[in-house]
């Protein structure tokens, strides 16, 4: 195989060498991106298209007394203004949310529930005219009291959603585990550590904002180009909202300039563009502004209380978590319907808790809806951050080294499959090994010595550990669905006579490199050259049904489908091979990437030769060589890792410098180490941003304070640390190629490592916890408070 990346990644896997997998093959998709020939949504223009722009509410909570668009329609080039009145007339005023527990306004219907909510859509001949129009749409608002946090919401003084049957701001309660046994165990534990931990509101913020173009073609068929991580789900959602059957809808998701979960939801702008295209009989284009992008969804906003019981020797006895979730104005979380709080049950982490209990209550507030994703849709980040943060607090309380506390309580590798007290069955793992690799590689002992010296001099150096386990690969259809659709994925492989082929899946890469890794999986199974596979995703006319790419599910689900579809091809190929070699198919053995006649050395046929025969000499077999397969995974996969951060904190300014950061990931079998490493680098940078810089904060008036990149901070190359990586390999026993996943791991595992490191640096001052983001000021304030306390003694 040619074209291995020259810049060999640091990751050396422990897995055995293979033919096409496990190799750092350079990406097949890159030449177009490198030459500016990517095809992103705004690069697509249809003849006669109109431009749409949206009017947004400056109020977080208000009644709408009236909307006057007469001045706006005087702008040269103005075509139409649409409000909820028009949408309701077409019965598309509201959208079902993805997990089916709520519905969401397309355009504000009678009232606005959050700042920047969409109030009207304008359509014009030019983009500039559309933006001139939105300034002149007069909306008469009657401001209402703002509920800007869930603790205010739970009082129910102000009812935010009178449209719902239940007259309360409480959305749902969810719990898992054994409350009675957990309380009993906590009551008899030597130590009980309690901490309130907030995971702030953040945003995925891909560099390319969302957008779409809608056109009803001459046959009345909707051609819908849209930035979607899940095109098939969109098509089905459009069927459910618009009542148009799927054969009349084609959803095309072009190249995506990043997604990270932001391109999962169906946004009101999409519906308005389609409605406009339908009514005006012209193609309609809508591209988000950065402000629209940052104000239309969010991730996290969990307020968590954790209690951990432990014996005085440091053996964990019980875990209890109580969470208040802020869902914003609509319950638009894209979680599976049976899992309103996603996979939050992974909060027991890598540790063998005898008992545990997690309880969660979700509330409406006057904040943007969402709760979707940011390199982790399903609340794994919140859970992982909480347990890893809390483990350090327990270690501090017990005066133990945090690595020793973890070592003492890890689920042992012999315990897998491990049934957790919160109802997950972990597939495999070797936590202690991964931690040992990390500690060795970072030089933990030397770092502790250095830290001791520095502390003696009054310097603030910290070492932070996170030994996380996550749960990905949703999922098994008996548990998981989105809008009722089970979370399987399809794969289709067609081998051409030359031994090249085309691969289609229902997933959609946003930079993850599926065009390369999917080819590697299939090539590995068939002994063919991965360079000769075209990978096609994103067009619902051609791709098999699949739930899309988010929640680290592509490799666990679609990757499994691909391997099994390839094996299906291999079985058919065996028949053709037998015909060509004039033996019984039972005499054939698939070995070293070719069919061999058992007992007849040298009598072999390659897949390339079989492919040609499939079209030229199939015998009595069905000609051709292709397979379609839908894969319903038997279980989730459980990647894990150990991350270590080393920081220095500036006592005067509160500035944290991340001096080193090592990520040792165990993602099971690795398909392409170079790509895996790239995923880890990117996820760590996002984790770094969450730990230190990012937050969608709201002021008391309900103003969203993070509406553009001057206030929602994306780290540059200068702030971002230099990342170090390594990998261990514990294959998933149930996945066809033993793969787990990695896209989310760095973002799930790293925030705790950063925060643990800073708190470790401050621990000589008695600081126990600071909520993210750990801005300079927060760290400075913690240091000053501690110093003043000492001075007062």
Partner 1 sequence: MFPASFEYVRAHSSDEAFAHLQQHGSDARVLAGGQSLIPAMRYRLARPAVLVDINPIKEFSYLREENGFLVIGATTRDAQLEFAPFIKDRYSLITAVSAVVADPIVRHMGTVVGSICHNDPAGDWTATALAMRAVMVVRGPNGTRQVPIDQFLVDSYTTAVNEGEMALEVRIPIPDAHTQGSYQKIERKVGDYATCAAAVQLAMNADGTIRQAGIAITASGPIAMRVAAAESMLVGQRPTLELLKAAAAEAPKIASPNADQRGSSEYKKDMTRVLVGRGLKQALERLGVTA
Partner 2 sequence: MKLEYNGSEQVPLSKPAVWEFINDPQKVASCLPDVQQVTVHDPKNFDALVSIGLGPVRGKFKFKITLEPQEGGNRMNVRISGGGFGSVVDLLAGADLKDNGDNTTTLDWSGAATMRGPIATVGGRVLDSQAQKLIAGTFANVKTRMAGQ
Partner 3 sequence: MNEVNVSMKINGKTVTGSVESRVLLAHFIREQGGLTGTHVGCDSSSCGVCTVLLDGYTPVKSCTMYAVMADGHEITTVESLAVGGKLHPMQQAFWDQHGLQCGYCTPGMMLSSIALLKQNPNPTEHEIREGLSGNLCRCTGYNNIVKAVQQAAQVMNQPELAAAADD
**Does 289 engage in binding with partner 2 (CB under 8 A)?**
no
Nearer to partner 2, 141 or 225 (CB): 141
CB atoms < 10 A from the CB of 634, how many?
13
* Nearest-approach distance from CB 128 to partner 3, in angstroms: 6
Which of 229, 512, 679, 694 is catalytic? The answer is 229
d(C-alpha 23, C-alpha 343), whole Å: 32
d(CA 28, CA 532): 10
CA distance 613 to 573: 9
Nearer to partner 1 among residue 210 and residue 561 (C-beta): 210
375 is catalytic: yes
Can you give the C-alpha Rg of the chain in angstroms? 27
111 binds partner 2 per the rule CB under 8 A: no
Question: Closest separation between CB of residue 135 and partner 2, Å?
Answer: 7
Catalytic residue status for 376:
yes
Interface with partner 1 includes 710 (CB under 8 A)? yes
Tell me how many degrees the CA angle 46-52-55 measures, rounded to the nearest 5. 170
Q: How far apart are the first and last CA of the chain?
A: 70
Altogether, the residues listed in the chain come to a count of 793
- Pick 498 or 708: Cβ nearer partner 2: 708
Q: Which is nearer to partner 3, 33 or 416 (CB)?
A: 33
Among 173, 423, 653, 708, contact with partner 3 (rule: CB under 8 A)? 708
Q: Which residues fall within 8 angstroms of residue 308, CB to CB, at 6 or more apart? A: 192, 193, 316, 318, 319, 320, 390, 391, 394
- Pick one of partner 1, partner 3, partner 2, none as the site partner of residue 56 (Cβ within 5 to 8 A by kind): partner 2
Closest residue by Cα to residue 67 from 131, 118, 137, 143:
137
Q: Compute the C-alpha angle 509/515/521, nearest 5°.
A: 110
578: left (phi over 0), alpha (psi -120 to 50) or beta: alpha
**What H or E segment, with its residue span, contains residue 441?**
helix 431-442
Q: Could you tell which of partner 1, partner 3, partner 2, none binds residue 60, using a CB distance below 5 to 8 A set by kind? A: partner 2
Binding of partner 2 by 71 (CB under 8 A): no
The binder of 675, among partner 2, partner 1, partner 3, none, by C-beta within 5 to 8 A per type, is: partner 3
Going by the DSSP 8-state scheme, the letter that residue 345 receives in this structure is G
Segment contacting partner 3 (CB under 8 A): 242-250, 352-360, 547-555, 708-716? Answer: 708-716
Q: How far is the CB of 685 from partner 3 (least distance, A)?
A: 4
- Residue 131 interacts with partner 1 (CB under 8 A)? yes
Give the contact letters, 314-353, x = binds to partner 3 (CB under 8 A), - = no.
----------------------------------------
Tell how strand 191-202 and strand 211-216 pair up.
unpaired
The CB-of-707 to partner 2 minimum distance in angstroms stands at 5
Instruction: Please report whether residue 80 would count as binding partner 3 according to CB under 8 A.
Output: no
Binding residues among 496-515 for partner 3 as defined by CB under 8 A:
510-513
Count CB atoms within 10 A of the CB of residue 384.
32
Distance, CA of 641 to CA of 432 (rounded, Å): 10
Stretch that binds partner 1, among 125-133, 190-198, 297-305, 762-770 (CB under 8 A): 125-133
- Nearest approach in angstroms of CB 717 to partner 3 is 4
Q: What DSSP element (H or E) covers 173?
A: strand 170-177
Task: Single out the residue of 17, 166, 456, 718 in contact with partner 1 (rule: CB under 8 A).
Answer: 718
Quick note: the x/- pattern for partner 3 over 91-130, rule CB under 8 A, is: -------------------------------------x--
689 Cβ contact partners less than 8 Å away, ≥ 6 residues apart: 713, 714, 715
Identity of the residue, 37 or 478, whose beta carbon is nearer to partner 3 in the bound complex? 37
Count of H-run helices and E-run strands, the chain = 18, 32
Binding characters for partner 2, 183-212, by CB under 8 A (x = yes): ------------------------------
Q: Which long-range contacts (CB under 8 A, 24 or more apart) does 480-483 make?
A: 480/336, 480/338, 480/339, 481/336, 481/337, 481/338, 482/98, 482/99, 482/230, 482/233, 482/334, 482/336, 482/337, 482/547, 483/96, 483/98, 483/99, 483/100, 483/233, 483/236, 483/237, 483/240, 483/337
Binding mask 281-300 for partner 3 (x = CB under 8 A): --------xxx---------
> Is residue 66 a contact point for partner 2 (CB under 8 A)?
no
Local structure of 423: helix, strand or coil: coil
Site string for partner 2, 699-718 (x = CB under 8 A): xxxxxxx-xx-xx-------
By C-alpha distance, which of 554, 532, 545 is closest to 492? 545
133-172 positions binding partner 2, by CB under 8 A: 134-135, 141, 143
Among 30, 43, 71, 135, binds partner 1 (CB under 8 A): 135
* Contact window for partner 3 (CB under 8 A) among 331-339, 437-445, 643-651, 674-682: 674-682
| Residue 653 interacting entry, from partner 2, partner 1, partner 3, none, C-beta within 5 to 8 Å by type | partner 1
Site string for partner 2, 290-329 (x = CB under 8 A): -x--------------------------------------
291 binds partner 1 (CB under 8 A): yes
* 405 burial level (CB within 10 Å; 0-12, 13-18, 19+): buried
What span, in angstroms and rounded, lies between the C-alpha atoms of 375 and 48?
37
**β-bridge mates for residue 546, sequence order:** 489
Name which of 440 and 699 has its Cβ closer to partner 2. 699
> For residue 264, what are its two tokens?
């999962």
Place of tokens 């699949």: 546
Contacting partner 3 (CB under 8 A), which of 22, 206, 349, 473?
206
User: Which C-beta is closer to partner 2: that of 49 or that of 291?
Assistant: 291
Pick the closer one to partner 1 by CB: 490 or 654.
Answer: 654
CB 636 within 8 A of CB 472: yes
| Other residues' Cβ atoms within 10 Å of the Cβ of residue 428 | 22
Strand partners, 202: 299
Rounded least distance, CB 140 to partner 2, Å = 10
Q: Is the backbone peptide bond immediately before 475 cis, with ω within 30 degrees of 0?
A: yes
Min dist CB 780 to partner 1, Å, is 6
- Nearest Cα neighbor of 310 from 301, 320, 300, 302 is 320
656, 649 contact by CB (below 8 A): yes
Comparing CA positions, the residue from 722, 27, 748 lying closest to residue 374 is 748
Comparing CB distances to partner 2, the nearer of 67 and 644 is 67
- Residue that has been written with the tokens 């030019």 in this structure: 126
**6 contacts partner 3 (rule: CB under 8 A):** yes
Asked if 754 touches partner 3 (CB under 8 A), the answer is no
60 or 336, CB closer to partner 2? 60
Gap between the Cα atoms of 530 and 16, Å rounded: 19
Q: Quick one: 71 or 190, whose CB is closer to partner 2?
A: 71
- Which positions ≥6 away from 219 have C-beta within 8 Å? none
Question: Quick check: is 104 catalytic?
Answer: no
3-state SS assignment for residue 181? helix
Q: Where are the alpha helices (DSSP H) in 510-624?
A: 514-526, 560-581, 607-616
Where does this chain bind partner 2 (CB under 8 A)?
56, 58-60, 115, 134-135, 141, 143, 291, 699-705, 707-708, 710-711
Active site residues: 229, 375-376, 744
Where does this chain bind partner 3 (CB under 8 A)?
5-7, 9, 24, 26-27, 29-38, 40, 42-43, 76, 128, 205-209, 255-260, 289-291, 510-513, 674-675, 677-686, 708-710, 714, 716-718, 720, 722-723
Where does this chain bind partner 1 (CB under 8 A)?
127-128, 131-132, 135, 289, 291, 652-655, 693, 697, 705, 710-711, 713-716, 718-719, 775-777, 780-781
């Amino acid at each position: 195989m040619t074209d291995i990346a020259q810049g060999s990644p640091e990751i050396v896997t422990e897995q055995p060498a293979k033919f096409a997998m496990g190799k750092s093959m350079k990406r097949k998709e890159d030449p177009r991106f490198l030459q500016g020939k990517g095809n992103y949504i705004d690069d697509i223009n249809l003849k006669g298209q109109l431009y749409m722009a949206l009017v947004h509410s400056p109020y977080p909570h208000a009644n709408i007394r009236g909307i006057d668009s007469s001045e706006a329609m005087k702008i040269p080039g103005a075509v139409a203004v649409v409000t909820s009145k028009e949408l309701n007339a077409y019965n598309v005023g509201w959208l079902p949310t993805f997990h089916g527990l709520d519905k969401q306004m397309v355009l504000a219907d009678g009232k606005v529930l959050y700042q920047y909510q969409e109030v009207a859509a304008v359509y014009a001949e030019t983009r500039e005219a559309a933006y001139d129009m939105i300034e002149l749409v007069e909306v008469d608002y009657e401001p209402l009291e703002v509920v800007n946090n869930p603790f205010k919401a739970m009082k129910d003084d102000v009812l935010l959603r009178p449209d719902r049957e239940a007259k309360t701001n409480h959305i749902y309660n969810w719990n898992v585990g054994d409350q009675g046994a957990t309380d009993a165990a906590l009551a008899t534990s030597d130590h009980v550590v309690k901490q309130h931990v907030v995971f702030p509101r953040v945003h995925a913020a891909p560099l390319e904002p969302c957008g779409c173009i809608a056109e009803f073609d001459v046959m009345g068929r909707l051609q819908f180009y849209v930035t979607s991580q899940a095109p098939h789900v969109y098509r089905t959602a459009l069927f459910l909202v618009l009542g148009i059957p799927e054969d009349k809808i084609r959803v095309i998701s072009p190249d995506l300039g990043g997604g990270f979960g932001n391109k999962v939801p169906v946004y009101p702008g999409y519906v308005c563009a389609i409605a406009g295209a339908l009514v005006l009989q012209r193609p309609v284009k809508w591209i988000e502004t950065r402000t629209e992008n940052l104000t239309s969804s969010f991730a996290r906003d969990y307020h968590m209380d954790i209690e951990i019981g432990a014996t005085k020797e440091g053996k964990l006895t019980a875990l209890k978590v109580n969470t208040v979730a802020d869902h914003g104005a609509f319950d638009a979380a894209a979680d599976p319907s049976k899992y309103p709080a996603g996979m939050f049950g992974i909060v027991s982490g890598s540790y063998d808790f005898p008992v545990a209990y997690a309880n969660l209550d979700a509330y409406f507030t006057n904040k943007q809806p969402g709760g979707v994703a940011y390199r982790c849709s399903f609340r794994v980040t919140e859970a992982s951050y909480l347990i890893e943060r809390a483990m350090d607090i327990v270690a501090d309380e017990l005066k133990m080294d945090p690595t020793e506390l973890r070592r003492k309580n890890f689920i042992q590798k012999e315990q897998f499959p491990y049934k957790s007290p919160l109802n997950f069955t972990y597939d495999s793992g070797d936590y202690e090994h991964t931690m040992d690799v990390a500690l060795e590689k970072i030089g933990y002992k030397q770092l502790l010595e250095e830290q001791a010296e520095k502390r003696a001099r009054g310097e603030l150096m910290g070492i932070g550990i996170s030994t996380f386990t996550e749960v990905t690969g949703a999922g098994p259809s008996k548990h998981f669905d989105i809008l009722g659709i089970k979370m399987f994925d399809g794969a289709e492989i067609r081998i051409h006579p030359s031994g090249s082929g085309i691969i289609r899946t229902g997933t959609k890469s946003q930079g993850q490199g599926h065009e390369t890794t999917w080819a590697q999986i299939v090539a590995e199974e068939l002994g063919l050259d991965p360079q000769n596979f075209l990978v096609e995703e994103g067009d619902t006319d051609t791709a098999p049904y699949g739930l899309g790419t988010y929640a680290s599910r592509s490799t666990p689900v679609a990757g499994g489908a691909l391997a099994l579809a390839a094996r299906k091809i291999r079985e058919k190929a065996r028949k053709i091979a037998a015909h060509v070699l004039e033996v019984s198919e039972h005499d054939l053995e698939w070995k070293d990437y070719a069919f061999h006649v058992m007992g007849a050395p040298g009598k072999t046929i390659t897949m390339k030769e079989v492919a040609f025969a499939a079209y030229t000499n199939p015998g009595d077999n069905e000609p051709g060589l292709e397979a379609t397969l839908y894969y319903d995974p038997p279980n989730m996969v459980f990647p894990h890792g150990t991350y270590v951060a080393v920081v220095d904190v500036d006592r005067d300014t509160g500035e944290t410098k991340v001096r080193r950061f090592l990520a040792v990931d165990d993602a099971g079998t690795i398909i392409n180490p170079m790509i895996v490493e790239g995923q880890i680098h990117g996820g760590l940078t996002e984790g770094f941003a969450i730990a230190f810089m990012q937050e969608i904060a709201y002021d008391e008036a309900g103003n969203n304070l993070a509406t553009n990149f001057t206030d929602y901070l994306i780290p540059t190359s200068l702030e971002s640390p230099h990342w170090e990586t390594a990998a261990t390999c514990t294959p998933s026993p149930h996945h066809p190629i033993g793969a787990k996943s990695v896209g989310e791991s760095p973002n799930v595992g790293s925030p705790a490592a950063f925060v643990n490191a800073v708190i470790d640096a401050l621990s000589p001052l008695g600081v126990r916890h600071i909520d993210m983001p750990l801005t300079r000021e927060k760290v400075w304030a913690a240091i000053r408070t501690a110093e003043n306390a000492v001075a007062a003694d």
